[in-house]
Amino acid sequence: MAVNGNGHRRVVITGIGALTPLGNDAETSWRNLVAGESGAGPITQFDSSDYFVHFACEVKDFDPSNWIDRKQARRMDRFAQLILAAARQAEADSGLEIAADGDRIGASIATGIGGIKSFQDCYDTLIRRGPDRVNPFAIPCIIPNMGAGWVSMELGTRGPLSSECTACAASNMAIGQGLDDIRLGRADVMLCGGTESAINQVGIAGFGAMRALSRRNDDPKGASRPFDAGRDGFVMGEAGAVLVLEELERARARGAKIYAEVAGYGLSSDAKHVTEPDPTGRNPARAMTMAFADAGIDPKEVDYINAHGTSTPLGDAAETRVIKLALGEEKAGMTPISSTKGATGHCLGAGGAVEAIFSTLAIRDGKLPPTINYEVEDPECDLDYIPNESRDADVRVSVSNSFGFGGHNASIVLKRLQE
């Protein structure tokens, strides 16, 4: 059995699938990201003319019937439809026939909010038409665990099944849970990822009221500007993204395509505030250093960081301090960092999975994706954020950070596979 320096079973990525604001599959999304494209545009899912914000990063031209039986799709919220489509893509990419070996295959699928559109529809029907007209599938559409549930039911996974709901750290935690399930022998393969679809009246009004969203209504594509001095909030995004994690020897035995190794994972909490990040950076930095230790790497080995970088004034400055604490001032100043949320917006509970895929493809292709819309340096954000244009690099170790409301911190380390 292949084990790492800590005695754990080694785990690799053998399949990916994603629907993002940059494309309806992982490779298209990656190409558009590297090209510096933005997924932002006017909101089409409802009339936003009376709202603070009129734009978002939507998944475009998504037809659930390409992936899901029409009757089943009507029983699912959009967040569940997106993750099931991504899971089917990842299964196909991996070359697995999941249902044939479902007892040893599980799923760990995250969301930050779940079926918020279905909740809104249920309440509207209740008020307008009365309780006897509420959709009988309302509750299964609303509850956050049904993204994971639908993946398991439709693909036939019968191993561990979990659903992390830890705000914007959720899908990094889902990847970590899947990693642990394989390391501990509960499963040999785990479908790990996240999904979110909160571009509706409640989502936009709620985040808008707390002034978390950018209000650059005259410039949607330039609104998400992580680490830039002019940042004024995040742009709401949506996505579904899945990575197939597989025990290394099993993957090799079947001749699987291997993207990268999932080498380490770290967690911490801020214990500070419902929305504001830890201003010292100390607690999120502990998540990063735990991930380094779990992966058996020295911080000096990190070649690229995909930052949480949401384009909020407090968050981006705090993460700069986090990275300096975790890597040390000198190494932090030498390490390329990007926030791909400049292009995708903030996909909330799906963000970590989308960014883990991007971090994986950076290793595969030797490409560092840019932080778009970076124009004016902020003295509090003084690191190398790969401004506006992608960069060629030899990427052996990449790190992806996710930090969530309530003080949830999760960091993962991905490595180029070596013997």
Given a contact cutoff of 8 angstroms between Cβ atoms, the answer to whether 125 and 207 are in contact is: no
State in Å, rounded, how far the first CA of the chain is from the last one.
Answer: 13
**Which one is catalytic: 168, 192, 347, 381?**
168
Q: Match 């996505």 to its residue by tokens.
A: 239
Stated as kind and residue range, the H or E segment containing 195 is: strand 189-196
**Which one is catalytic: 8, 57, 192, 308?**
308
Kindly report the three-state secondary structure assignment for every residue of 285-346. HHHHHHHHHHHCCCHHHCCEEECCCCCCHHHHHHHHHHHHHHHCHHHHHHCCEECCHHHHCE
**What confidence score (pLDDT) does residue 3 get?**
67
Q: What integer is the mean pLDDT of 13-17?
A: 98
Q: Which of 93, 77, 88 is nearest to 30 (CA)?
A: 93
Find the angle CA(260)-CA(95)-CA(343) to the nearest 5 degrees.
Answer: 50
**What confidence score (pLDDT) does residue 337 get?**
98
- Model pLDDT for residues 52-74, shown as the tens digit of each residue: 999 999 999 999 999 999 999 99
Whether the per-residue pLDDT at 148 is higher than 80: the answer is yes
- Exposure string (b/e) for 238-269, b if CB count within 10 Å is 16 or more? bbbbbbbbbbbebbeeeebebbbbbbbbbbbb
Q: Which of 417, 415, 408, 416 is nearest to 172 (CA)?
A: 408
- Check residues 306 and 7 and name the one with the higher pLDDT: 306
**241, β-bridge pairs:** 18, 194
**What confidence score (pLDDT) does residue 5 get?**
66
- Check residues 106 and 277 and name the one with the higher pLDDT: 106
The answer to whether residue 308 is catalytic is yes
- pTM confidence score: 0.96
Given a contact cutoff of 8 angstroms between Cβ atoms, the answer to whether 78 and 95 are in contact is: no
**CA 209 remoteness from chain centre:** 24
Beta-carbon-side half-sphere exposure of residue 31 (alpha carbons within 13 Å): 6
- Tell me which amino acid residue 3 is: V
**What confidence score (pLDDT) does residue 315 get?**
95
Q: Which of 222, 309, 210, 308 is nearest to 41 (CA)?
A: 222
List Cα–Cα distances, 399 to 2, 347, 416, 418, in angstroms: 23, 18, 12, 17
- Tell me which amino acid residue 305 is: I
Whether the per-residue pLDDT at 43 is higher than 70: the answer is yes
Q: What integer is the mean pLDDT of 287-305?
A: 97
**What confidence score (pLDDT) does residue 342 get?**
98
DSSP 13-59: EEEEEEEBTTBSSHHHHHHHHHTT----EE--SS--TTSS--EEBPP
Given a contact cutoff of 8 angstroms between Cβ atoms, the answer to whether 44 and 111 are in contact is: no
Domains of the chain as residue ranges with CATH: 11-253 (3.40.47.10), 263-415 (3.40.47.10)
Find the angle CA(197)-CA(202)-CA(205) to the nearest 5 degrees.
Answer: 115
- Model pLDDT for residues 87-105, shown as the tens digit of each residue: 999 999 999 999 999 999 9
User: Which of 3-7, 279-283, 356-360 shows the highest mean pLDDT?
Assistant: 356-360
Given a contact cutoff of 8 angstroms between Cβ atoms, the answer to whether 112 and 170 are in contact is: yes
The answer to whether residue 346 is catalytic is yes
- Model pLDDT for residues 245-273, shown as the tens digit of each residue: 999 999 999 999 999 999 999 999 998 89
**7, β-bridge pairs:** none
Given a contact cutoff of 8 angstroms between Cβ atoms, the answer to whether 350 and 238 are in contact is: yes
Sheet holding 105-110, edge to edge: 161-162, 105-110, 189-196, 239-247, 11-19, 260-269, 408-415, 397-404, 304-306, 337-338
Within 8 A by CB and 6+ apart from 167, the residues are 112, 348, 349, 404, 405, 406, 408
Q: Which of 21, 400, 61 is nearest to 234 (CA)?
A: 21
Q: Match 């970088």 to its residue by tokens.
A: 309
The tokens for 7 are 């005695």
- Model pLDDT for residues 116-128, shown as the tens digit of each residue: 999 999 999 999 9
DSSP 44-99: -SS--TTSS--EEBPPPS--GGGTS-HHHHTTS-HHHHHHHHHHHHHHHHHT--GG
Summary mean pLDDT of the chain: 96
**What confidence score (pLDDT) does residue 7 get?**
77
**Which one is catalytic: 346, 347, 381, 408?**
346
Query: In angstroms, what is the C-alpha Rg of the chain?
Result: 20
**What confidence score (pLDDT) does residue 278 get?**
83
- Model pLDDT for residues 178-195, shown as the tens digit of each residue: 999 999 999 999 999 999
Whether the per-residue pLDDT at 1 is higher than 70: the answer is no
